[in-house]
């Protein structure tokens, strides 16, 4: 197996000012909401569960063998085993049901948190807290460059909810035209992941009500106008980062090959970094937005995909297991390293 080892180091020496009380509140919301999609899988019924239930009932000793009931039992089994409609242009009602089921599982997932979830909640929480601490200094160091901003905005246009939604729809209809159900599923689940993750991001935006890097005192303060003013377009988290990562997660899951995963995640990272370079978001906004998109995309794949994801789990596990934090107390440098497998 060949590996490409990449590292990112942020040499940021002093932390920006963040109100401690509001930081704690938003930090708690981040931990609970950004991790919802992954936790939600524990309490959800997997596809085909009704079939397993029918088989169990058939083997139960209390089931009568009377011939008078065999006909109705067979009819009942045939009805329960009938294929369910798949979300699509001809079954929009099913799409709404799937989306509603996803949202219900996501927002009730905090009640199903398990101790084993700490293996990813703790590192993610630490990374988020570190990003919060250095947000203001990072924005100040970056400065404002109009030419850079224009270029970055052109890149981020491809990662908006409108753009990613159109991209998903294009893939879906292309799959229909080419009679490729897997390609159509990729587009359909991408759109579903984008919508589901967008709801989580919107809720956190309203809860955080954070100023953007060029607003106010440029410190990224929360609720500067008090609780009487609610802002749907606040800085935290980044909806562009959320949508682009949700799209990338589904594509990489449906086609688990390095030559698909690297461009897909590269696209998402380009959008996220561009939001920072355009002075539209702080690093923590992008970090949390990408986490929401990644986890929601994985949740949608696990619950609705029919054409994946055997090898996808191996690929994502290999990549995630190579992520290591970097910290140098002498230079106050912090960062992360990751190895990307280039072989099949």
pLDDT per residue as tens digits for the range 7-39: 433 333 333 444 444 444 444 444 444 444 444
Q: How large is the average pLDDT for residues 312-319?
A: 54
Select the more confidently predicted residue: 77 or 330.
Answer: 330
What percentage of residues in the chain have a pLDDT greater than 70?
65
Does any domain span residue 13?
A: no
Provide CB contacts within 8 A for 234, sequence distance 6+: 205, 206, 208, 209, 210, 211, 212
Does any domain span residue 299?
A: yes
- pLDDT number for residue 174: 96
d(CA 254, CA 224): 43
Position 192 pLDDT exceeds 90 = yes
Position 103 pLDDT exceeds 70 = yes
- pLDDT number for residue 158: 94
Does any domain span residue 278?
A: yes
Structural domain boundaries, residue 328: 20-46+86-341
Computed over every residue of the chain, the mean pLDDT equals: 74
- pLDDT number for residue 253: 93
Computed on alpha carbons and rounded to an integer, the radius of gyration of the chain in Å comes to 23
Lowest mean pLDDT among 115-124, 148-157, 308-317: 308-317
- pLDDT number for residue 340: 57
- pLDDT number for residue 11: 37
- pLDDT number for residue 155: 94
d(CA 2, CA 301): 27
- pLDDT number for residue 49: 37
- pLDDT number for residue 319: 55
Q: Is 226 left (phi over 0), alpha (psi -120 to 50) or beta?
A: left
d(CA 18, CA 219): 7
Position 177 pLDDT exceeds 70 = yes
Does any domain span residue 77?
A: no
Does any domain span residue 111?
A: yes
Q: How large is the average pLDDT for residues 271-281?
A: 94
**Chain CA centroid to CA 286, Å:** 12
- pLDDT number for residue 127: 84
First-to-last alpha carbon distance for the chain, in angstroms, is: 8
- pLDDT number for residue 171: 96
**Contact in structure between 196 and 106 (CB atoms under 8 Å):** yes
Model confidence at 84, in pLDDT bands (50, 70, 90)?
A: confident
- pLDDT number for residue 94: 87
Does any domain span residue 265?
A: yes
Does any domain span residue 59?
A: no
- pLDDT number for residue 293: 93
Q: How large is the average pLDDT for residues 238-254?
A: 95
Q: How large is the average pLDDT for residues 204-213?
A: 92
At 286-306, the pLDDT tens digits run 999 999 999 899 989 988 898
Number of structural domains (the chain) is: 1
């Amino acid at each position: 197996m060949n590996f490409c080892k990449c590292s990112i180091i942020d040499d940021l020496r002093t932390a920006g000012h963040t109100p401690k009380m509001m930081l704690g509140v938003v930090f708690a919301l981040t931990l609970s909401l950004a991790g919802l999609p992954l936790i939600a899988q524990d309490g959800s019924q997997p596809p085909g569960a009704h079939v397993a239930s029918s088989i169990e009932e058939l083997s139960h000793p209390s089931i009568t063998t009377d011939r008078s009931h065999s006909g109705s039992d067979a009819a009942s089994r045939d009805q329960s085993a009938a294929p369910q409609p798949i979300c699509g242009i001809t079954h929009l009602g099913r799409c709404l049901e799937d989306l509603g089921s996803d949202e219900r599982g996501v927002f009730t997932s905090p009640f199903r948190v398990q101790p084993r979830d700490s293996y990813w909640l703790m590192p993610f929480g630490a990374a988020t807290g570190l990003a919060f601490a250095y947000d203001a200094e990072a924005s100040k160091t970056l400065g404002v460059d109009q030419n850079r901003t224009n270029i970055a905005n052109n890149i981020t246009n491809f990662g908006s909810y409108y753009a990613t939604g159109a991209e998903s729809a294009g893939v879906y209809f292309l799959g229909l035209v080419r009679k490729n159900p897997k390609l159509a599923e990729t587009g359909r689940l991408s759109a579903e992941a984008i919508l589901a993750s967008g709801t989580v991001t919107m809720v956190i935006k309203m809860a955080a009500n954070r100023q953007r890097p060029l607003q106010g005192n440029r410190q990224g303060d929360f609720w500067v106008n008090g609780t009487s003013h609610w802002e749907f377009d606040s800085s935290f988290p980044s909806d562009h980062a959320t949508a682009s990562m949700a799209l990338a997660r589904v594509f990489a899951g449906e086609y688990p090959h390095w030559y698909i995963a690297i461009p897909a995640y590269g696209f998402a990272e380009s959008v996220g970094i561009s939001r920072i370079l355009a002075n539209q978001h702080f690093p923590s906004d992008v970090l949390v937005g990408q986490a929401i998109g990644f986890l929601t995309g994985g949740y949608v794949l696990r619950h609705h995909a029919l054409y994946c994801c055997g090898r996808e789990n191996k690929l994502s596990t290999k990549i995630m297991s190579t992520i290591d934090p970097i910290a140098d107390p002498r230079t106050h440098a912090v960062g992360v390293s990751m190895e990307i497998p280039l072989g099949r």
